[in-house]
Amino acid sequence: MKRRELERQQAEEKRRQAEEAERVQRKIKKIIGESGMRERFLNRTFDNFTVTEHNGVAYKITKIYADTFKEKLPNNGKRMDRNGLFIVGSIGVGKTHLVAAIANQLMNQGTPVICMTMIDLLNRIKRTYDKGMVSEEEVLKLYETVPLLIIDDIGKEPPTEWGVSKIYTIINSRYEGYMPTIVTTNYDDRALVKRLTPERGDSITAEAIVDRLREMCEGIIMTGPSWRSR
């Protein structure tokens, strides 16, 4: 009887998780359309990533991350302080390919993911000001609660007081909720703080963003020549 009850509970929990994933995916599709990834990256996988002496470690870490993602979620009262990734590297070394591969693998397995550049992330919020069907609160709530949020190219956007405050709101909410977050950037910690600091503004909010990301994420440094120049 105990075994049957356990199996029943497990089946019920699996059904509940599937229904929740479907609900979140419908919300993502309504607000940003599928995952937010551009067409070019929808076919990026671990299988078609070229592993070299420069990116082998990053490949291994990101593949293990994708394979063990469920362990990163705040389930059953368990919390992981460092359940995200902070990937730093110059242009063209494969950062976006690897995070897109994570997103595509998880989405194929039924896990809702948002994967967008920082610029696109902020632009989607701005679109709510045009009296659309979706409110700013709905967009932010989705960014804050989706199982995995991937922010590509953070630091590329022109820094403004408005922009950095929205980034802080999103990152801080995920930090407080132990929600997995992945970011890619061309900048190390100090340079990223500078890039996120508005002209003639102070760096306090930018420093808070980077400080939280440092605590939330495992750091990966990618080196090597740009694939786009080959």
**Residue 72 is encoded by which pair of tokens?**
């990163």
pTM of the shown model = 0.86
- Contact, 81 vs 73, CB < 8 A? no
229 DSSP 8-state letter = G
Q: What is the pLDDT at residue 83? A: 96
User: From first to last of its 230 residues, what are the pLDDT tens digits of the chain?
Assistant: 667 766 667 677 677 776 666 776 666 665 555 456 767 778 899 999 999 999 999 999 999 999 999 999 997 567 888 999 999 999 889 999 999 999 999 998 989 999 999 999 999 888 888 766 788 999 999 999 999 999 999 998 888 999 999 999 999 999 999 999 999 999 999 999 999 999 888 899 999 999 999 999 999 999 887 765 55
CA–CA distance, 175 with 194 (Å, rounded to integer): 21
* Distant-in-sequence, close-in-space partners of 110: CB < 8 Å, separation ≥ 6: 18, 21
Q: What is the pLDDT at residue 25? A: 66
Q: How many residues appear in the chain?
A: 230
Q: What is the pLDDT at residue 66? A: 97
Fold of 2-229: Rossmann fold (3.40.50)
Domain segments of the chain as ranges: 2-229
Q: What is the pLDDT at residue 56? A: 94
SS3 for 69? helix
Q: What is the pLDDT at residue 198? A: 93
